[in-house]
Structure 1
Amino acid sequence: LVKNGVLTKSPIEIHPSFNPMIGPSPYVLINMGARYQPCMHNMPNVQNATGKISWPCPDATSTSGESVSCTLSELCGFSGVPDPHPGGTVHDQPAPNQWWRFIVPIFLHAGIIHIAFNLLLQLTLGRDIELLIGSVRFAIVYFAAGIFGFVLGGNFAANGIASCGCSGSLFGILAINLLDLLYTWKQRQGPIKDLMFILVDVIIAFVLGLIPGLDNFSHIGGFLMGLVLGLCILHSPSAFSARRPSVQNTVRYSGLSGIPNNNSTSPRSDEGLPAFLKHPLAFFQDRRGVWWAWWLVRAAALVGCLIGFILLLDNFYKQPMHGCRWCKYLSCLPVKVGNTNWCDVGNLDFTPNNGTSGKRELFEAVAGQAMDRLW
């Protein structure tokens, strides 16, 4: 808000359009580190454009004149990026490489309403999950889910849309909550009600993510990462971790909820990293086959997560050779309003065969309109 006030003389965006989230313009957010693909890697239809591209300025208050006369380097800010030049190719070097835009956007929000909703969820659901798994593991899930969400969106979301917020991180926490519910289902007083509450949250967020300009992939990526990390960091379900009857114990705790399970035969003190470090051999004694199988599943999930993350990063920097034509429908509805297809909103194209009369007009029609509708 402060930077928007300095650049545009208003703390919130009111020109060229009003930001319904009551916050800065998308151009200011891009300049402050929102995920914006042209600042991060070479892009088709940008690096190989046949003419000079005029980008919106961070202090833009209109869609014409000096407000759209900046270079890409000026829009991206920080130390700048190499500007596209007429006759270039997607293989030009050095390429834009502001990789930190996968991390910084977690701390940026589109406005007061945006951050208020996220804070409400974080101070309620996030607080409970942090008490269950501890601050260190909470931080790991929070940042891993947020970063993975932005990486997934960078691969499949519209390439002209700026994205920011901690929604991906919160979806990772929501996934942890879902796993803990499933792990402690029999010990809950109203598990169906809890499950319906989680499902309603997920469905509403995913449906809203189908609106043009919103990045549903951040939600999907954060949720998937939360599920995978949840399998790895949560204690095994009591049905899997119960030892053979030869171990004489009295009370067993399931998941991370601290709910006792009197039908089991081993205490919580014999589980987890502290128990392993204290008695490494005893940790593995009298384990059932299902426990070993579950650990293989957890290990495979962690390895698969790392491989998927590496492949997505590799694909991001190799675009457009490795794309997915149908993936966009996870973040949009194939609805046509007037001459605009919702699934085409936000894609940049500065090549002469795109049917527009000029590059500035194209940017106004796609980038300006789409980013202004982002929030």
Structure 2
Amino acid sequence: MAANDYYHTSHPPTGQPHGSPFDDDNSYHPAPNSSGALGGYPAQNTSYSSQQDPFTDHNAIPLHSQPKYEAHQLDDGSPAPYTADPEAHARPSRKRSKRKKQKKGGWFGGRITWVVYTLTAVQIGVFVGELIKNGMLTGSPIQTKPNFNIMIGPSPYVLINMGARFTPCMHNINQTIASNVQSWPCPNTTSLNPGSLTCSLSELCGMGGVPDQSTVTDYRDRSHEPNQWWRFIVPIFLHAGIIHIGFNLLLQLTLGRDMEKEIGPLRFALVYFSAGIFGFVLGGNYAADGISSVGASGSLFGILALTLLDLFYKWSTRRSPVKDLIFILLDIAIAFVLGLLPGLDNFSHIGGFLMGLVLGICLLHSPQSLRQRTGSDEPPYATVDTQPLAPTTGPASIMPHFFTNFAKSPVAFFKGRKTLWWAWWLVRAGGLVVVFIGFVLLLRNFYEWRNTCSWCKHLTCLPISTGGVDWCDMGGLSLQNRSTQSPARRGLAPVDLSDFVTQAMGAMM
């Protein structure tokens, strides 16, 4: 009887969901295998019936709209596992992938620096050509005779033949004209024997040759003067050896690449070539005539000057400015000390750094502190760092406000400017004028005036004597008689610096 009452009661069985007119479509319906229900029969009070959650209010407004939950079943009738919205799971993965892409750095991360990559490709290609030509002329891709090139590269005579800055190929040399030098080392020279001097100056210089100077008696006579002026530019792409080009490209692909992202390709290319050319011009005026100078270090010193200026301009915003300053000064000091070794041209380092410093003042945006005081609207550059810059935030990708505002309304651009703004722009304009005048004066002195500087040699050498030879006298032209029967016929003997630093490295610029 009790069993009959249990199975035939008028009340619904416990544990079963009961439909209610107050239920809506947003109410939660459990899966079939649930042990209890959220909405049990309201009059039931047994241990088998689920009680209504006292904290649940069906009339409350939900804070977030939730998708309707529906229990799914597999083919065998068992409940399927809970699966959330697939789009909700996809978003975090996309964010993570974006973060991974943003963290990607190195030499090929961020915006493509076309100038640095193009220069690097050309310089590597030219260096391979140097090794091939040295192998064709001497039988070895690197110089091993008469001494070994410690830079692991071609001989200095091959570099001269390919366009190194060598002043006898560029203008008259008083010493060679007065001594009637007729014989010069050949590009394939492998001996220090004066008898190996069988080439003319035109054959040594190559690149179309130079006029015959056998009839010239005064160096001021420019009728037969060599004039391979491009030797102020071509050496930027030449290097003295694997070690030389390796260090230069390492600096170019790190510091140079960051700076190109910072200031843009046009400014970067202008400073790069201006610093390199100015360094070779300064070295051509005051370095020894017997030094063949090659390398891109003058250009890189100009970029190093830009980095130093950028550090000072943003000193208050840098994370560790003192540390950055120490590293920059250490790089400058090491390169300057190396330039004091025999056979090296430190003037190219100095000239490149000075040109980069002045052009940086003229081309870079004003310091942040100065812009705040003058109310300048120049967009600030991001600090130079090893992390890649966002493509949309780089100021190099937009036209500077100076040109756009000036083109729209020239008068309004200058109207209302503060005195400090005018003073800073006068400094910029003055620096540009000084650089231009200095460049012109150095060229005039190289070709016409020939003024020398007696103390300037100490900027590129140490007052040390080895074997009775002063380091500051190394790199000059060494003239020797080819025959005792004709003392007037003299030749330029190859200079042997193997006891110190072989001149095969040219000028480690």
TM range (shorter): 0.7 to 0.9
d(CA) in 2 for partners of 1:80, 1:337: 37
Paired residue type of 2:467:
G
User: Runs of 5+ in structure 2 lacking a partner?
Assistant: 1-130, 386-397, 482-486
Task: Pick one of 466, 472, 477 that aligns with 1:348.
Answer: 477
Cα displacement string for residues 270-304 of structure 1 (whole angstroms, at most 9, x for unaligned residues): 84433433454443344321111000000000000
Instruction: Please identify, of 329-338 and 297-306, the stretch whose mean Cα deviation from structure 2 is larger.
Output: 329-338
**In the alignment, what sits opposite 2:151?**
21
Distance 1:13 1:73 in 2: 22
177 and 234 in structure 1: CA distance in 2 versus 1, 3 angstrom threshold = same
CA positional deviation for 1:358: 9.4
Change (3 A) 1:205 1:113: same
1:219 alignment partner in structure 2 = 349
- For residues 57-82 of structure 1, what are the alpha-carbon distances to aligned partners after superposition, in whole Å with 9 as ceiling and x for unaligned? 00111122663211111000011112
- Paired residue for 1:12, among 142, 148, 162? 142
In structure 1, distance between residues paired with 2:490 and 2:468: 19
Aligned-residue RMSD, C-alpha: 2.7
Residue 389 of structure 2 is aligned to residue 257 of structure 1: no
Query: 1:219-239, CA deviations, whole angstroms, 9 ceiling, x for partnerless residues?
Result: 000000000100110011122
Match of 2:265 in 1: 135
In 2, the alpha carbon distance for the partners of 1:9 and 1:283 equals 65
In the TM superposition, what is the alpha-carbon distance from 1:188 to its structure 2 partner?
0.6
Offset at 1:88?
1.7
Match of 1:99 among 224, 229, 233: 229
Kindly indicate whether the alpha-carbon contact (under 8 Å) linking 1:184 and 1:254 is maintained by their aligned counterparts in 2: no
Please list the CA deviations of residues 144-163 of structure 1 after superposition, one character each: whole Å capped at 9, or x if unmatched.
00000000000011111000
Structure 1 residues 272 and 255 mapped into 2: Cα distance closer, same or farther (>3 Å)? farther
Distance in 2 (alpha carbons) for counterparts of 1:109 and 1:244:
45
Equivalent pairs: percent with the same residue? 59
Deviations 1:11-36 (A, max 9, x none): 11111111111111000000000000
Aligned counterpart, 1:263:
none
- Write out aligned runs for 1:1-375 (5 A): 1-49=131-179, 51-64=180-193, 67-85=196-214, 88-92=217-221, 93-242=223-372, 254-255=380-381, 257=383, 271-318=401-448, 320=450, 322-348=451-477, 350=479, 363-365=493-495, 371-372=503-504, 374=506
* CA-CA distance at 1:240 after TM superposition: 2.1
Tell me: CA distance 1:243–1:336, structure 2 relative to 1, closer, same or farther (3 Å): closer
SS at match of 2:275: helix
Query: Higher mean Cα deviation, 39-48 or 298-307?
Result: 39-48
Amino acid at match of 1:196: I
One-letter amino acid matched to 2:383: S
Q: In structure 1, how many angstroms separate the alpha carbons of the residues matched to 2:139 and 2:350? A: 37
How far, CA to CA, are the matches of 2:497 and 2:488 in structure 1? Answer: 14
- Describe the SS at the equivalent of 1:30: helix
Identify the residue that residue 262 of structure 1 maps to in structure 2.
none
Cα distance change on mapping 1:344 and 1:270 into 2, 3 Å: closer
Structure 1 CA distance for aligned equivalents of residues 196 and 142 of structure 2 = 17
Map Cα deviations across residues 310-331 of structure 1 (whole Å, 9 max, x no partner).
00000011254x1111111110
Structure with more of its chain in helix, by fraction:
1
The CA distance in 2 between the partners of 1:329 and 1:318, in whole Å, is: 24
Query: CA 1:26/1:78 → structure 2, altered by over 3 Å: closer, same or farther?
Result: same
CA shift for structure 1 position 334: 1.5
Work out the CA distance in 2 between the residues paired with 1:368 and 1:26. 13
SS at match of 1:204: helix
- Contact map agreement 1:271 1:283 (CA 8 A) in 2: no
1 CA distance for matches of 2:230 and 2:445? 17
Q: 1:277, 1:240 → 2: CA distance?
A: 24
CA contact (8 A) 1:167 1:219 kept: yes
Number of aligned residues: 357
CA contact (8 A) 1:242 1:288 kept: no
Q: Secondary structure at the match of 1:127?
A: helix
Per the normalisation by structure 2, the TM-score is 0.65
1:198-246 CA deviation, whole Å, 9 max, x = no partner? 000001000110001000000000000000100110011122223667x
The alpha-carbon distance between structure 1 residues 270 and 45, as it changes in their structure 2 partners (threshold 3 A), is closer
Letter in 1 for 2:504: D
Residues 303, 89 of structure 1: CA spacing in aligned structure 2 closer, same or farther, 3 A cutoff? same
Which segment is superposed worse, 364-373 or 36-45? 364-373
| Amino acid of the structure 1 residue aligned with 2:174 | P
Deviates more, 1:84-93 or 1:205-214: 84-93
